[in-house]
Structure 1
Amino acid sequence: MAEKKPIKVLIVCAIGMSSSLLESKTIEAAKTQGFDLEMHAITTPDVGRYDFKEKYVDMVLVAPQVRYKRKSITEMASPYGTVVENIESVTYGMVDGEKLFEQIKEALNL
């Protein structure tokens, strides 16, 4: 039986502090459901230098405070099959890892 590949997700935010907490809660939610989730928070300047071709990710989640960057992020990532979505303000503010993982599963048809 082939091993399942991990789900790879980036969170794009302003400075990464609150996103790192959401990251750990979302990874925990995925683990309890039997999924292997690799998630990393990066800043908006870093996403501008990110090589989506070489460092493939399944999905990019855009934090509420930088949602104005979604269009440019989509232009960079979508040619490589990466899904780009905004994180809902309530999900982000409540640091709701379970709700965010549900969004990931729905967007990636898991």
Structure 2
Amino acid sequence: MADKVIALACAAGMSTSLLVSKMQKAAEASGKNYEIFAKSTADIDNMLAANPKPDVLLLGPQVAFMKAEVQKKAEAAGVPMDVINMQDYGMMRGDNVLANAENLMK
């Protein structure tokens, strides 16, 4: 079982899959046992109700307009969340996105 679960949500869950792969490689290179996955924003309610819940939820920049709505749900579930930095997303900097997720989990 993973030490931490990092969930990413984007419009369809597809464009984020490459970023997930880069984040997993960065985590493995640091010797961390994380479960990292991407799903559609339509799955956010299910992710926050799951057992276990993710340790952090990151929104893709293309759905940043949903931040206020998702923030309320995430706070109610006790899950920290933020929007992925647009430059890190565009450049697929998995290490930077992973570092941001780890900061949110502290």
Please report the TM-score for the alignment, with normalisation by the length of structure 1.
0.86
Separation of aligned partners in 2, 1:12 and 1:99: 17
**AA paired with 1:83?**
P
- How far residue 51 of structure 1 moved from its aligned partner, in angstroms, is 4.8
**AA paired with 1:16?**
G
Aligned residue pairs, count: 105
Secondary structure of 2:6 counterpart: strand
Select 1:96's aligned residue among 90, 93, 96. Answer: 93
- What RMSD over aligned residues (CA atoms) do the two structures have, in Å? 1.6
The verdict on how the C-alpha distance between 1:51 and 1:103 changes in structure 2, with shifts beyond 3 A counting, is closer
Residue 24 in structure 1 maps to residue 13 in structure 2 = no
Please report the TM-score for the alignment, with normalisation by the length of structure 2.
0.89
Higher Cα radius of gyration = 1
What stretches of structure 1 move > 4 A for 4+ residues in a row? none
Separation of aligned partners in 2, 1:11 and 1:92: 11
Give CA-to-partner distance per residue, 1:59-104, whole Å, 9 cap, x none.
Answer: 0001110011111112112222200111000000011111111111
Separation of aligned partners in 2, 1:107 and 1:45: 23
Gaps of 5+ in 2: none
